[in-house]
Amino acid sequence: MKQKLFSFFIMALVLVSVSVANAATTLVEIGRSPFHQPPLKTKEELISMLQTKAPEVAKGFALAGRSDLYEPFMDQVTKTQIDLVQFPKGSQFEWMFYKKKGKGTIRIVKDVTWGNDKPFPGFQFPVDRDGIRYIFVIPLGCGNVALMGESKIPEVVVAPPPPNKPPQCGMTVTPTKTFCGENVTVDARTSTDPDGEIAKMTIAFVDESGKAISQKVVEGKTLMSEVAVPCGTNTLKVTVADNKGLEASSPACAVQVTGMKRVRFLADLGYYRQFDPSNYVFARAGMEYKFTEQFGLIGLLGWAPEVHGKDGASAFLADLLAEFSFSRYFVDLGVGGWITNGDSDLPGENSQLDMIAGFGARVYGEPEKFNASLFVEARSAFDEFDELGRYGRFGVGVRFRF
């Protein structure tokens, strides 16, 4: 019987001991069992205390069974945000290590609750490890290190960047009509990008079928360049690209540019009437050289066989004409050689140097392409102006430009 009572007493003692060991601790006073004295005042004092007592801090983490937190704790405390907080009654801590009466070895107490009506001040800061955020508290009055709680670090949802907006293209071209191979100036400095900057522009000449004839890339922010104009009428198109590579153009960045030929081949077919009388058909061929869009020089060689008449003779023609053009019309003025093998004593048959005047209009085709014009022309020798009505030659013809 005595042996049974003794066994029961031992079991009860063990149960009481375990219950006491696992019981929650209510803390009502700060400073009776400090890990550090004197009380902490600044964050700098806190960091200095932890670094000075590093071996003891490491032992405290080991007693708490969280040696894995020691290194991140010591590393992050110098970098993290440390706040001074007033902890009210009911504040709970998973564990806290201390020194009994501030002396001796490190001890650990778990499941601690602050039971005083008066809040206590303490430093609070987070320590992160493996996706978990641990909140540590160190009361100013004792320097004890306590783990207040832990939670999973919320995932930071990074909003996707807004889509890149295309640049806006704007440009001017000066001039829009010039001779083939001459330069025009392209100015795209009015182009903008709403969320970046223009990094380059591409200048292209595009023909009627949409095929690029030539292309030039201008890097950088200058957005001005000179480009040589190809012959004919083509579309000059500018495309701008922003600093992220997004390209854009617009109707404002497309303009027709005409490259005029300075040199063109011509051919005339026509009829002369001389009231002496004589009738001629003539054919001339030659070249035109343009000095400006309105003014050019034409050189022609040809043959004017007499087809009917009692005076006159077939002639070889060598004509040089200055031509002034406006819109589709033109005026010719020049000199020409009327060279025959007729009787040099007869005004209607002799070779002579003529003054030539004419007027015409383009009736088919575009100016810079193959076209045809109708013209009237009068020619007379310089020494026969007084007998223009008799020996002058008046004609009509068609001129082909190639």
- For residue 195, the domain's CATH number is 2.60.40.10
* 162: in domain: no
392 and 267 in a common domain: yes
Residue with tokens 């810079």: 368
Cβ(178)–Cβ(260) under 8 Å? yes
355 and 232 in a common domain: no
Distance set, CA 89 to CA 113, 173, 349 (Å): 8, 79, 135
- Of the candidates 41, 25, 69, the one whose C-alpha atom is nearest the C-alpha of residue 139 is 41
188 and 127 in a common domain: no
* 333: in domain: yes
315 and 199 in a common domain: no
* 99: in domain: yes
340 and 361 in a common domain: yes
206 and 139 in a common domain: no
| Residue 188 φ/ψ, nearest 5 degrees | -110, 25
Q: Work out the pLDDT band at 8, boundaries 50, 70, 90.
A: very low
Cβ(163)–Cβ(157) under 8 Å? no
Of the three residues 221, 244, 260, the one that is the final residue of a domain is 260
* 375: in domain: yes
Q: Cα dihedral sign for 309, 310, 314, 315?
A: negative
CATH number at residue 385: 2.40.160.20
Going through 55-144 in order, the beta strands assigned E by DSSP cover 83-87, 92-99, 106-114, 120-129, 132-139
51 and 34 in a common domain: yes
Q: Work out the pLDDT band at 3, boundaries 50, 70, 90.
A: low
131 and 62 in a common domain: yes
> What is the pLDDT, as a whole number, of residue 299?
97
Q: What is the mean pLDDT of the chain?
A: 91
| Strand order through the sheet with 25-27 | 25-27, 106-114, 92-99, 145-152, 132-139, 120-129, 83-87
Q: Work out the pLDDT band at 18, boundaries 50, 70, 90.
A: very low
187 and 103 in a common domain: no
Tens of pLDDT, residue by residue over 245-295, are 999 999 999 999 999 999 999 999 999 999 988 999 999 999 999 999 999
273 and 322 in a common domain: yes
191 and 147 in a common domain: no
pLDDT at 162 over 50: yes
Which residue range is the domain that position 218 belongs to?
Answer: 172-260
- Of the candidates 111, 77, 118, the one whose C-alpha atom is nearest the C-alpha of residue 96 is 111
280 and 194 in a common domain: no
Cα dihedral 258, 263, 265, 270, rounded to 10, equals: 90
pLDDT at 13 over 80: no
Average pLDDT over residues 31-54: 95
| Residue with the larger pLDDT of the pair 183 and 389 | 183
Q: Work out the pLDDT band at 158, boundaries 50, 70, 90.
A: confident
pLDDT at 233 over 50: yes
What's this model's pTM, rounded to 2 decimal places? 0.57
Classified as helix, coil or strand, 46 is helix
Rounded Cα distance between 206 and 230, Å, is: 10
Residue with tokens 């440390």: 82
- Counted domains in the chain: 3
> What is the pLDDT, as a whole number, of residue 82?
96
> What is the pLDDT, as a whole number, of residue 119?
96
Of the three residues 122, 152, 182, the one that is the final residue of a domain is 152
Of the three residues 260, 290, 311, the one that is the final residue of a domain is 260
pLDDT at 11 over 80: no
